Every structure is written in C-alpha cells, then in structure tokens.
Chains A and B, each alone.
Chain A
Amino acid sequence: MNLTLRIWRQRSPEEQGAMTTYRVEGVSPDMSFLEVLDVLNEELVLRGEDPVAFDHDCREGICGSCGMVIDGQAHGPERTTACQLHMRHFRDGDTIDVEPWRAAAFPVVKDLVVDRSALDRIIGAGGYVTAPTGSAPEAHATAVPKEAADTAFEHAECIGCGACVAACPNGSAMLFTSAKVVHLNVLPQGAPERESRVLGMVAAMDEEGFGGCTNTGECATACPKGIPLPSIAAMNREYLRALRKGGARRP
C-alpha cells in the first residue's frame, strides 16, 4: 500500500504547528498504524529530518500511552487504540490526516505528543482507596455482589488514554472521571471515600479547564475500552447524592 499522511508537526509548545504532507510507500496491510509512523520516521532520520514524535509504550492496547486523531476520529476508524489499528482498514492510495488530541487541558508538547497530566491530577483528587493494600487480601474477606464486581471491572478497564476528551466537542473529561468514580464507588473498598471522591474529582476536573458534558455521546463512541455513556449519568447521580448528604468538602 502507498499512503499519503498529513501529520501535525509542531516543534515545541510555543511554536506554531502545521499539517505536513508525507508519502509512505510499501506499507503492509498487516502493519499497525504506529508501525507506519515507525517506517516514516526511519526514512525521516535517514534524510536527516526530525522524526515525528508520538507517545507509545505497550503496543498491545492496554497501557493508554498512544493516542492520536486519525481522519478526525480518536484512535482512528476502528474502536481500538492507535497501536492496535491495522492498515487493512485503509485502502491503497488513501490520504490520512493525523492530529494530536485537541483540548485546552492537553497542551501539545511536540507533534502528536500532548501533556495528559491533567488526568493524573484528577486521579490524585480521589481515584484511590485508603484501605490498606499490600499483599493480596483473602478473597472471601470482603463480599462483593456479582453485579457490583462486573460494573467495577467494566469501568476499571479505562486506560486513561484521553480519547474521550479528544472526541468531545467540549474537550470534556467526564467519561474518564466517571469511569474511575463508578469503578471505586460501587465497591465496598471504595465506600469510605464515596462522597469526597466524586466531589474532589469533579472539582479537579473543572479546575483543569475541561469542558462540561452536553451529552453528544462522542466520548463513548471513541472509547477503545467501551466505557458506556450512562457512566456519566452514574457519576452525576453520585455527585448530586454527595451534595445532598452535605459532603461539600474538598479533600
């Protein structure tokens, strides 16, 4: 396959960026999207040019490091991460647009790399349990209803890649935040911080400059882990419940 890539190149956070066109030839349909960028980067290095910077780590779709908007869709046309997106979903001769996540809370560091530490700070505001951890506890010590366990597991699948923020027209991090709130709030282990968690994480989310939810559903469509849209409703329910219980504390 021969492809034309139009990639966002930006040398530093301060400098202006622009879409730059590259030809990549001899692409195998079995390659992943990141491997195409690897091939391009090898050529760029041989030509003495600056390679395209992009985040990546496990390349198995489980770490959440990679992320780029491909043809206007977060992680591209398939519901998976960019590393697990294979070129068989494109056609020979395609022109593909590659852009970084766009959000005020995700400033571009270089090319396709954005600073997603805002998500870490949301987690720091309540995405944890204070129960002692350490060695694995005895499985029967705390009974967890099956339905709660399933819900928690489904939401624990969030890899924090930021695709929801990138896809949202408001640059909102509600799906990400709701995944962590729901994950911990349905479990008995998360119960002691049930109110302060949701209040703290929503406050942190707002402070980072993420937008609000207008229920467009773009986030849940883009999520490579299938976090469902009603999770945001569950977070809203937890938030209003916490306010009613008078827990207007900020941790």
Chain B
Amino acid sequence: MALATRTARTSALGTLWGSTVGKKAVMAATGVIMLLWLTAHMLGNLKIFFGPAEFNGYAAWLRTLGEPALHEAWFLWIQRAVLALCVVLHGVAAYQLSRRDLAARPQRYAHRRPRASYATRTMRWGGVILGLFVVWHLLDLTAGVVNPLGEDGHPYQNVVADFRTWYADVFYIAAMLALGLHVRHGFWSAAQTLGANNRRRDRALKATANVLAVLLTAGFVSVPVAVMTGLVD
C-alpha cells in the first residue's frame, strides 16, 4: 500500500453512487425530500374540512404559485419533476442495494428466529406497495382517469366521489398504513445513514419518527374516514 505511486481517481459522485454507504445516502436524502413534500401534501389535504370552495381554491392557488415569475402550473411541474427524480433514485438505489444484500447472505440459518421490528422487515415490499399506490393515486386524482367522477378543476368533488367507493377506501387506507410503517423506520434510518445520529440523539430521533409516522397516517386517513362518515360530502 505504501508503494502505490498512482491513485485511481473517480469523481466524488461516482464514488458516492458506487458504494453501499453512498447509495444509501442517496436513498436517505431523496427520502427526506419526499417526506417533507408529503407533510405539505397532508396539511394541504386537511383543507377539505373547510368546504368545497376552500379546497378547490387551494388547488387552483397551487397552479398560480410563483406567478408572475412562473407561468401557470410551472411550479407544479417543477415540483413533479423533482419528485419523479427522487422516486426513481430512491427506487433504483433500493433495488440495487437489496440485490446486493440478498447476495451477501446466500445461505439462511437453519435455526430461524424473529428479528427486527415489523416496520424494518417490511421496508422493501412496503416500498413496492407505496410505488403501486402512487401510480393509482396519480391516475385517480391527478389525471382523473380512474376516478368515478374525474372532473378537471373540481378536486373536492372528485375526492368525495372517490372515497364513496369501498375499494378506494380500502386501498388508500392500506397504503397510508404502509406509509406510516415506512416512515417509522425510514426517518430514523435516514438520520443514521446521513450521519446525523449519535447516542444522545438516538431516542429523540426514534420518537420523532414515530410521531411523524402517526401524524402523516392520521392526517391522510382522516379524509376517506370523513367521507365515509358523511362529515365531508
């Protein structure tokens, strides 16, 4: 080692994406961006409790955000592009790391025992479920293709029509529970991966992850529950 006279140089980004630690850091960073966006999305959804005018007005305002610097809906499209990039990076990194992880333990132990928490064990398949949910959710409430009503510019009416069907309620609530579990492990794990964790912060970070997971799930689930109970119609 001391005799090495030449050092192979790769770019910092190449090294980052090429190593297990770096790739996981990409997953963590994209996860945090998506989590921040989800928090804003959840809070925006709660506007539905103030009636159709408020909710539809909020949706319209999202399209005018950034004007006059940005043209109509530009903000939305920029945000969609960033999110799509995050989803792709997060998913590809997860897939590649999982392949590697499975190959690193080719033979299982004969003596099995339960290990790790439910949230930790379901990160991979929970992530797949969330990915499928996002596809349906976009077709349903963004494009309106699979929505029972699907009227452009009337998100309040679309949401209500949607959650009057049992399958939308079931799929949506199941996905939000999966989201809660994903965030419960994911938030703390991201802090650990980005090096933000230490022994003093460990418990506080785990508690924050739990609170975030519960608030996000409760906030999102409150909408279909409100439609089902007739609080919103």
- A residues sitting closer than 8 Å to B (CB atoms) are 6, 8, 19, 69, 71-73, 97, 99, 102-105, 124-125, 168-172, 174, 199, 202-203, 205-206, 209-218, 228-230, 232-241, 243-244, 246, 248-251
Contacts and interface: CB of A to CB of B under 8 A. Distances in A.
Contacts of A168: 105
A200 B150 CA distance: 55
Given A170-B102, A237-B195, 16 more contacts: A6-B110, A104-B104, A169-B115, A170-B100, A171-B105, A202-B19, A206-B20, A209-B103, A213-B20, A213-B21, A215-B120, A215-B185, A216-B116, A236-B194, A237-B194, A244-B12
B210 to A, nearest CB: 15
A212 B22 contact: no
A124 B113 CA distance: 35
Interface in B109-124: 109-113, 115-116, 120, 123
By CB atoms of chain A within 10 A, which of B21, B111, B198, B199 has the most? Answer: B21
B195 A212 contact: no
A225 to B, nearest CB: 16
A248 B10 contact: yes
B78 interface: no
Contacts of B222: none
Contacts of B108: 102
A230 B199 contact: yes
A233 B195 contact: yes
B116 A73 contact: no
Interface of B: 1, 4, 7-12, 14-16, 18-25, 97, 100-113, 115-116, 120, 123, 185, 188-189, 191-199, 202
Contacts of A104: 103-106
Given A99-B110, A236-B194, A171 B4 contact: no
A120 to B, nearest CB: 13
12 contacts: A6-B110, A170-B102, A209-B103, A211-B104, A213-B21, A214-B123, A229-B192, A230-B192, A230-B202, A237-B195, A244-B12, A251-B1
Q: Which 7 A-B pairs have the closest CB atoms?
A: A237-B195, A211-B104, A171-B104, A170-B101, A212-B20, A97-B111, A72-B111
A236 B9 contact: no
A27 to B, nearest CB: 19
Contacts of B101: 169-172, 211-212, 214
Contacts of A243: 12, 15-16, 22
A189 to B, nearest CB: 17
Given A104-B103, A171-B104, A236-B25, A202 B112 contact: no
Contacts of B18: 206
B198 to A, nearest CB: 5
Nearest to B112: A72
B21 A239 contact: yes
A102 B107 contact: yes
Contacts of B106: 104
Nearest to A73: B113
Contacts of A244: 12
A179 B28 CA distance: 22
Given A212-B100, A228-B199, A248-B15, A235 B21 contact: yes
B22 A239 contact: yes
Contacts of B24: 212-213, 236
Nearest to A243: B12
Contacts of A199: 15
A69 B111 contact: yes
Contact of A218 (B7, B21, B116, B192): B116
B104 A170 contact: yes
Contacts of A246: 12
A102 B103 CA distance: 12
A240 B25 contact: yes
Which one of A71, A237, A246 has the highest number of Cβ atoms from chain B below 10 Å of its Cβ? A237
Given A230-B202, A238-B195, A248 B120 contact: no
A235 to B, nearest CB: 7
B104 A105 contact: yes
Contacts of A202: 19-21
Given A171-B105, A237-B195, A214 B189 contact: yes
